[in-house]
Amino acid sequence: MARLLIVEDDETIGRVLESGLRMHDHEVVWQRSGQGAIREATAAGFDLVLLDLGLPDLDGIEVCERIRRLQPECVLVMLTARQDEMDVIVGLEAGADDYLTKPFGLAELLARIRAHLRRAAPAGPVRPEFRIGDLVVDTGARRCFVAGREVRLRAKEFDLLSRLAADTGKAVSREDLMSDVWDENWFGPTKTLDVHVAALRSKLAGAAADEQTAMPQIVTLRGHGYRLDGPHG
């Protein structure tokens, strides 16, 4: 069971989401406005937020940013009716972990929520630590360090880096990254992946103190995926 916040002004969609998620044993709070969502996210912690981008009072992207600041650890999924790719990219950059384009089925939403929550709390006995040059990825503590200084990564950025680090020097396909980091049955667009890679690159580059820092690089393999190369290639 998870604590979910639904932010949706459409009565029909909101009611379907609320009752569907409650039926699957989630604790659900439904807010119909951006102000209401921010008030709710200020008052209580949530495991996952479903955020409609088209809200009556505030811009959805702004609400996204504010919820992300209030709750850095929660999973944030945008619901968008818009077809415009820019909205999706701006939303991901504003802190969303994922998005669903309306209309979507309840089964798809539930599968996505399950995958997110499972990955937010990974289980299993093996939690290795990867050391690549001056980069340390501690998967047990879910912490990342560059030259001894901690770099704050969002949940999916950390999962993505861990996945690449586990296969340092090897090509990892987009399909494998999407299924391992996001959802084993991923069938949606994979722009999410590129936005997270871009964020990760910029955070790691920003964390490197100077040119002496031995940093691995995330290399783009056109038409295939990505590869994490050690500092010396």
Residues that bind Ca ion (CB under 5 A): 9, 52, 54
Q: Which residues contact 31 (CB under 8 A, 6 or more apart)?
A: 5, 6, 7, 37, 39, 40
Q: How far is the CB of 31 from Ca ion (least distance, A)?
A: 12
Q: How far is the CB of 59 from Ca ion (least distance, A)?
A: 12
Q: How far is the CB of 52 from Ca ion (least distance, A)?
A: 4
Q: How far is the CB of 55 from Ca ion (least distance, A)?
A: 6
Residue 124: half-sphere exposure toward Cβ, Cα within 13 Å: 10
Nearer to Ca ion, 52 or 98 (CB): 52
Nearer to Ca ion, 8 or 134 (CB): 8
Nearer to Ca ion, 80 or 192 (CB): 80
Which among 201, 122, 189, 134 has a CA at the least distance from the CA of 161?
201
Which among 15, 69, 12 has a CA at the least distance from the CA of 37?
69
Nearer to Ca ion, 20 or 231 (CB): 20
Beta carbons within 10 angstroms of residue 67's beta carbon: 26
Nearer to Ca ion, 63 or 146 (CB): 63
Which among 112, 78, 88, 95 has a CA at the least distance from the CA of 2?
112
Beta carbons within 10 angstroms of residue 138's beta carbon: 17
Q: How far is the CB of 10 from Ca ion (least distance, A)?
A: 5
Q: How far is the CB of 66 from Ca ion (least distance, A)?
A: 17
Residue nearest to Ca ion (CB): 54
Nearer to Ca ion, 9 or 108 (CB): 9
Whole-Å CA distances, 10 to 35, 49, 76, 79, 135: 15, 16, 19, 12, 46
Q: What's the distance, CA 42 to chain centroid?
A: 20
